Structure formats: C-alpha cells, structure tokens
Chains A and B, each alone.
Chain A
Amino acid sequence: MQALTSLFRPASVAIIGASGKPGKIGNIILKNVVASGYPGRVFPINPKETEIEGLPAYPSVTRVPEAVEVAVIAVPAPRVLPVVAECGAVGVKHLIVISAGFKETGAEGNALEKELVSTARRYGMRVVGPNCVGIMDTHTPLNASFAAGFPNKGEIAFISQSGAMLVAILDWSLLSGLGFSKFISLGNKADLNESDFIEAAADDPETKVILGYIEDVSDGVRFLEVATRASRNKPIVVLKSGVSQAGAQAASSHTGALAGSDLAYEVAFRHAGVIRVESMAELFDLALAFAKQPIPKGNRLAIVTNSGGPGIVATDAAEEKGLAIARFGKKTLDALRAALPREANIYNPVDVLGDARADRFRFALTKVLEDENVDAAVVLVCPTATVEPRDTAKTIVEVSRSFPEKPVFGVYMGGEILETGAHLLTEAGIPCYTFPEVAVNAMRALAYYGEMIGARTDEPLPEYQDLDPERVRAVFAAVRDDNRLVLLGSEGAAVLEAYGIPVAPTKLATRAEEAVAIAEELGYPVVLKVASPKIVHKTDIGGVRMGLETPGEVMASFWAVMSNVQRALPHVIPHGIDVQRQAPRGTEVIIGVTRDVHFGHLIAFGLGGIYVNLLKDVSFRLAHGLSLREIEKMISETKAFTLLRGYRGQKPADVGALVNIIARVTRLVTDFPEIAEMDINPVFAYNAGALALDVKITIS
C-alpha cells in the first residue's frame, strides 16, 4: 500500500501530549523520535510548554507553522477526539494513537473508538492503534513509540497485536543481534490492521521477511487476499495465539477480538501461504532462517556430523517433519569413500567422525552440496576433544558462500566450548542452533515455502450452466416462513438438486398413506427417515428404517418411526417422514461445510460411516478461491483416498464425481452465504458417479 509509505517515512512528526518530564509517555516518545536519528521535522505539542527537550513546543497542532504528516497522540482518551479533529483540520495524514481507554475498556470506550475512526475517516486520515506502543522503521529511521530501545537495522518486519510481545522481542533482538526493518504495534486495530501492514511490508524494499504475532484477524477475506499476494514474494511467519480454549478466552479478552475457530485459521493460513508457528522460539528461529538463507529447490536434506547419535536424531526429526534424507549420487559417494577414514559413514547422515577437524568438515560439506540430489545441508558439530569450533564455523561460512542456492544450517551442540564458533556462524548469516530438531524445523519451513510458491495455481472453478439459484432461494424462503433455520431432508435434497449435485430422490410424507404413495412413485426399496429440524442424530433414536420393499412395510415403518421418536424425544414434534429411494452401497464419504466468522465457508472432506468421529480422517479447505486442483489435493490428503483408489482389490471409486460434488457445493455456499452449516453424510462414491444420501443444511 503506497499510502502507508508516508506513515513510515514522514517529512514531519508531531507528538501530541509531548512532555518534558522524564518517565512520562509523552517524554519517552519524543526522546525516542529524536534519538532514533529521525531526519524529518519534529514538533512537540503541549499547551503548557514552550520548549521540550530543546525543541520549540506548540500549544496545538493547529499552531504548528509547517505541515505535519504524522501525529503521535499520547493524551488521555477523553481528550483524543478533539485532538484528532484538529489534526484533520490541518491536513495530518496519519495518526498513531498511543492512548488507551478505548474498546478494551467496554461499551463506552468502544463508542469512543468508533467515533475516533469516523472522525479520522472524515479527514482522510489513517489510524494506528489506539492502545498501541507505536511504530518503528530502522531505515527511515524513525522510532515513534514508547518502547525502550531501537532495533538493529535488518530485513524483518514484525507486526504485533501485543505491545508487550513487541517490546520483549525488541529487547531480545538487541541481545541476539537480529535486525529488523519495521516494528508495528497494532493495538486495538480500530482502522489499520494486520492486512494493511502485511501489504505495506510486502511493498517495502527493505523488508525480506514478515513476522506477525496476532490474536485474531480483523477482516478475514482481505487478509486472505493480501497475504496470498504478499506470500508469493516474501515469507510471512505468524504466531497466532488462542489455540487452546483458555488461550482463546485470553485472546478474546485481550484487545477486544472475537476469536474465530482455530481450525479456520489453520486452513486460512495454509490457503494464503502463511507459515504458522507454534511458539515464540519458533517464530524467531524461522525469522532468522528466512532472513539469512535462500529458499531451497526441494526438501532433500544432507546431514554432516562429527558424531553418530545426533546424526540419527537429526535424521529422525527430518523424516518426521516430512523432509527427504538426500540419497547421494555415485560420484559423491565415491569421493567421500576415497577421502574419509574407513570407519566414516559416507551415506547420509555423513559421519566425519569425532576426530574430524575443520578440513574434514570442509571436504564433506563441499561434496554433499555439490551433489544435485541435495537441496540443503545441516552441519552438526559436537564438542569432541579435537573439535575446532571457530575454524569449522569459518569453513561452513566459506563453503556455504559457494552454494548460494542451497541453505546451510549449523547445529553446535554444546555450550561453552562451542560458543565462539556458534556466534561466528550467526554473525555470518548461517542460522546456528543448539539442537538438531530446531535446524530441521527451520529447513522444513523453508522447503514448505519453496514448494508452496512453486505450486501456486489460481484457476477458478468452472462456470456451471445448470444451476438453479431461484429454486434454492424459494426453499430458503419457505424454511424461514416456517420459522426455522434448519432444512428438512427433502428440502436439503431439493437444494442439492438445484445445484446439479446428484442426490437420492427424497420427499416428505406427513401421513403413512402419503409415504406409501411416494414410495410407489420413487420405486422400491425405500428408506424412511424422520424429518425434524430438532433431530440431528436420526439413527440413534430409531428414526430411520431401511430396505422397505412393500407398501405394508412402509405403512408399518411409518408408525414405528413416529412412535420411536415420540418415546425418545417426547417434546419434539416431527414435520413428518422423509421417504427416499434406497441407493446401492458405495464407499462412504462425507462432505461438510461450516461458516467461520472471519474466513467464510470452510469445506471438509473425509471418510464417512460410523467411524467418522473416531478416525477424524478429514481434510479442510476454504471455499474462498478454491480450485479444482486444490479439491483433488484435499481428497488425496485423506486416508479415505486410499479406499477410493481401490483398497485390497476393490474397484476404484469415481474421484472425479466427488471433485464435481465438492466444486458444486463450493459454488452453492459462495452463492448463498446464509448457509451456516451443511453436512452431506453420507455420499456414496461408486465405480462411476457418486450420490448424496443425506443432507443437513442450517441457514442464518
């Protein structure tokens, strides 16, 4: 977003609420701006002062004789609104509202925050915060925050919904030497949110990696669009909190966010190419790797070690993370065999033995990196008696420079003895970790990112010509007229039919005679299923009768089902009984949809039948931007796919027919956002074709 350039690189900054008293927020911010070496004009605003920290102070932003581009507001909440209006009047472009006392404090604060945004909008100003720490840009340089310290110059932009997290990371980075391009504290995200800053960081030439700590996403659809675009060129690594139940509550209570389902975030991040991490440590491990190392061409890892045990641990970790242990070419193996001691293991992991000095590491690392079957290397160094930590580090750096396309990671397994070497590696841009799993995890993230940007395709779903949205609208209208949100089975079947989804013919009978008439029309055998929006698990209460072959059976079953329901759920009055033509058995799968508050519809595919809940063999995608290829991938991710391909001599099922159903379901929920939930369970997949048997739809 070009418009945000002037936020990070303004010609002038006013600090409203600037103070001369040390320790006051208004004093810290002013000092930070000045101390960061900000080259633009700085205007402290305070009605009671004429000079602060050696700069002339002004009673109001309206009295500043020059144009003000960015105003940092640090006055108490009740005084923010008039100040915002003044800023608007004199043409300020961006506001950084540090002040707390808005949405996070309740309804009144929420109203104040809304007013803040609408006032800013009226003047065309954008707002960071409120209730934030501020922003920093090491390249401008500008420190418009009240954080203690200013990061080293670097290529990582860090966007944080937690101010405390931001200042903690800042302090840590100063110790570790990691550099940043930008620090952004989102605060309450009343106006500018994570999507805006991801977009800005994507366009920022000084930023190579985008890091985020977020508790929720303000606008799911925009996030998907922005992040999908940005992740093409720059890795986005995000720590999203609120995974646990308690975490979700803490997150929701933190800055006023309504935490959406964690599953939806998981799927959305994958969809947008965002790399999600589980811990703060991982966030920065990956930051380092992405900032300093190239993206590998593949996932084949070579391991060079001076001891067997760690080599095996690293191999196990790599396999578990889905990396391939590279198989070296003959040339490499011959060279290694010729030059390494006889006891050395020349196969991956290459064990150069405990007496290895730097030269042996150099040889082995060079040989494996030369191999075209290797995409990346990890060098494990254990503190043996002969180890040369510094020389080995220098060697690794030198060798790695000859292979700029292949990432190299160091693992210095130890403490004191290895410390200088480890430091040398980090300084030279080779991420160096204490344990192999961490290196493997970093490599996995790099490989995942490489694979993802390579595989991106966006071809949309086909334009179906045989859809009948009018019919769906009519069904939904009738359901609403009946004061319901849940469709009966027959209504659900009609909706599927209208979207060209093959479904077993189903009709509602309110009387036994009617059921018989429908059975005659559809043809025997038939299934009877109780029809009620109040009954979710029909089978459990004896609400389903199958394999009915005669009018007599239908008649008797009608009453049997009705009395079963009455016995199990005395307060539920069924709408009647769905009569369905019984379909031959196929491979049972389920297709489901649920609507997430942030990201819209989530499509699920998995194995059907009675073990659904036990096996949890389900894969998910967002309906947003779903392509046929992604649907195929989604199906192939499940264990059900093994069954569908023809397990143990069974005939393979028609996967194409399932793709077609999922694609049409996706179109249906896209056309009808009021569908809150949908469950087609089961779908029978046949040798040729597939058929939906039972569908539950909930609208809102």
Chain B
Amino acid sequence: MKSIYLIGTPDSGKTAVALGLALKLRQEGFNPGYFKPVGSTAGVLDQRDEDGVLMKTVLEMTDDLDTIVPLTAGSFYVSGQRDPKKCRDRVLASYQQIAGRFDPVIVDGPSFPWVMASFGLDAFSIARDIGAGILCTMRTKSDFDFDAALFFNHYALSKGLPLVGNIFNNIPRPMLAKAQGVYAQLLESFGYRLLGVIPSRPEIHAPTVAEYYDVLGGEILTGEDKLDLLVEDVLIGAMTIESALGTLRRALNKAVIIGGDRSDYALAALETSTSVLILTGGLYPHINVITRAKEKGVPVILVHYDTVTTIEQISKVARRIRPGDQKAIALALENVERYCDWPAILESLKT
C-alpha cells in the first residue's frame, strides 16, 4: 500500500491526524506527501484550501497547491458546469504526480465521505481508484457518531477496500472513558481495529479568534496581536445583565456576541473569561469597552451584520492549524505519538 485515505465527518480532525502522522512518518525516515482530492474554501478572504496550504508548507512540498488539492467543491457543485470525467482525470493525474515523488501519500478526505458521489468522486471511489487503505478518523461524541464509524468500516469492507483501522479523535473528556471502553470493545467485536483514542485538547481543536475573524470579517477595534487566543465557547448576549452574569462566569475562553450598543454587557463580559468580543450591527461601542478590552488583552471585532446573521456565520468557524502555529503542529505530532498505535499504521504500509 502506498497511501492512506483518512475519512471522517467535519469535526473529526482529519487534517490534524494527517499532519501528526506525516510528521511521525518523516521522523521514521519516510518521505510522506499530502493529497486532498476534494478541498473546500472556508475563509472569506482566502479562497485556497487551508489544509492544503498547511501541509504543503510543513512537508515542504514543491508541487502546486492545485496539484495537492486538485478540486474544490461547495454544496452546489452539481449545478456548476463541470465535467465529471475531467474532474476524475484531474484527481488521478494529480495523485500520480504526488505519488511519484512521495511515499507514502496521506490522502485527506472531504467533510463527509460521500461528498462528490454524484461525480463518482466520493472518498471510497477515489480510494479504490488510487488503491489507498482506509483510516477512519471519527469524533465519537455520541452513539450515533460511533454508528457512523462502524458504517464506514462496513461500507469500505463491502467495497473490498483495505482497512487500516480507526482513530477516535478529538474526544471530549467526559466521553473518553466510554470511547476507550464501550466503543473500543464494540468496534473490535465487529472485527475492526482501533488504532488510537485522542482526547480533545483545546490548544489544537478549539478555533482561535483569527478563525472567527476569517469567517466574519469586520473591523478589529483592539487586540490585533491577540488573535491567537482560543475560543472554547460562544455566548450570545441577549439577556439582562443580571441574568447574564452567571452564564458569563460559567463559560471558559468564550466568544461573546452582542450588539455594539450593549456596553454594560460588554464590560461585564470582559470581567469574565472572554477570548473575543464580537460586536454586531456595526455599532461602535463606548470608548470604555475598548479601553478595558485593551487592558485585559481581549480582541474586539466589530461586524456590520446583525446578531442573527453573525451567529449563522460563526457556525462555519472551525479550527485550522496554520503553517506558523508551531505549538499546534507539535501537538498534532504528540497526539499521534502518545495516543496512537503508529507502528501498526507503519506496518500496514508495508503490506
């Protein structure tokens, strides 16, 4: 086997695992490459696939980004005047180019494995075409997530695809025991292999203020130098200040979304654990809010849409590891080293 295909669902952290795995393989003397047949463009400002940019940089790949990520697909791709066959040819040609220079190739799946099935380019079809082994990376935070993992394994097996195994990634602490116990046993009872359970770590899984800014745009009123703060919770300021205080206090490292005219609320939020204030409606806050935010080192982003639109927008925010984020990159490697049976993954590449 020359390549490993990571499949999973949107928040399962495939790219972080791909990154960690690639770095580990490099340490072990391999020359891994990265390939993402179907990319996505999340940012408002940047139209490139950011995972591709990250891996190209970290793995020092000289290939064009268009080769590393030959296609991108939005949720209306079918209506676009693209020819499925040409798309497929392009994916295969790009893969050939990368596989010619790297060994192994770590293939990163799309948000869901069925994406681009209409073109015959779902993850399983591409895996079959390029002869990749399936590594199912899932965030099993509920029984249904586990069911999905199981289903992907069943499906791959029924298609005759080689199975590398499963990694439960980005597992919230309250679910760790269950993932390691109940799910692990159940998975193995079906004859599938569990290669690791990686706990959720905000340093790598929580989005940063920068990611919010990428999605929301707007104006940074203060704290340009603090965009690397982690956002672990989101609160919407739609209540009186008295009832809000309890909620504000309970949430750690949060983004607080409020109308720009709610200075009282903004000031209260700044007295609690807040990573970013997102002020909506294009209303500039009172000067005290900015002064206090500056003192506290909390970025303030002013957006020009209303609160409802803002909330819709931030559902698109996801943590991406950026090329310069050495801490997250190191952690991605550490996660694979500490929590995964990487020798077993190496072994599967030899067969």
Contacts and interface: CB of A to CB of B under 8 A. Distances in A.
Interface in A533-581: 533, 536, 566, 570, 573-576
A252 B286 contact: yes
18 contacts: A103-B291, A104-B287, A106-B287, A107-B222, A110-B291, A110-B294, A245-B264, A252-B286, A253-B263, A258-B267, A483-B173, A485-B249, A485-B273, A510-B178, A536-B246, A536-B250, A570-B142, A573-B175
Nearest to A533: B250
B147 interface: no
B272 A700 contact: yes
A676 interface: yes
A698 B248 CA distance: 11
Contact of A485 (B240, B251, B286): B251
A252 B288 contact: yes
Nearest to B266: A252
Interface in B249-284: 249-252, 263-264, 267, 271-273
Contacts of A258: 267, 271, 288, 292
A677 interface: yes
B53 interface: no
B320 interface: no
Nearest to B261: A249
B245 interface: yes
Contacts of A573: 141-142, 172, 174-175
Contacts of A259: 264, 267
A105 B286 CA distance: 10
Choose among B222, B232, B267 the residue with the greatest number of A CB atoms under 10 Å from its CB.
B267
Given A249-B286, A594-B245, A700-B272, 4 more contacts: A245-B240, A249-B264, A256-B288, A258-B288
Interface string B141-173: 110000000000000000000000000000011
B290 interface: yes
B241 interface: yes
A199 to B, nearest CB: 27
Choose among A104, A249, A533 the residue with the greatest number of B CB atoms under 10 Å from its CB.
A249
Contact of B241 (A248, A510, A676): A248
A106 B290 contact: yes
Contacts of B172: 573
A614 to B, nearest CB: 16
B131 interface: no
B308 interface: no
Q: How large is the interface on B (under 10, 10 to 19, 20 to 34, 35 or more residues)?
A: 20 to 34
Given A484-B252, A575-B174, A700 B273 contact: yes
A174 B176 CA distance: 75
Given A248-B241, A597-B271, A485 B263 contact: no
A253 B250 contact: no
A261 interface: yes
Contact of A698 (B202, B249, B295): B249
B249 A700 contact: yes
A486 interface: yes
A482 interface: yes
Nearest to B242: A261
B321 to A, nearest CB: 19
Nearest to A242: B264
Contacts of A536: 246, 250
Interface in A482-524: 482-486, 510
A200 to B, nearest CB: 28
B176 to A, nearest CB: 10
B177 interface: yes
Interface string A220-244: 0000000000000000000000000
B264 A574 contact: no
A593 B271 CA distance: 17
A676 B249 CA distance: 7
A252 B252 contact: no
B291 A256 contact: yes
Nearest to A262: B242
Contacts of B202: 483
A185 B96 CA distance: 79
Interface in A127-151: none
A576 B291 contact: no
A698 B291 contact: no
Nearest to B232: A483
A397 B263 CA distance: 52
B171 to A, nearest CB: 10
Contacts of A566: 142
A249 B287 CA distance: 12
Interface string A94-117: 000000000111110010000000
Of all A-B residue pairs in the complex, the 7 with the closest CB atoms, nearest first, are A106-B287, A575-B174, A676-B249, A253-B286, A573-B174, A107-B291, A110-B291
Contact of B250 (A486, A574, A576): A486
Contacts of B292: 258
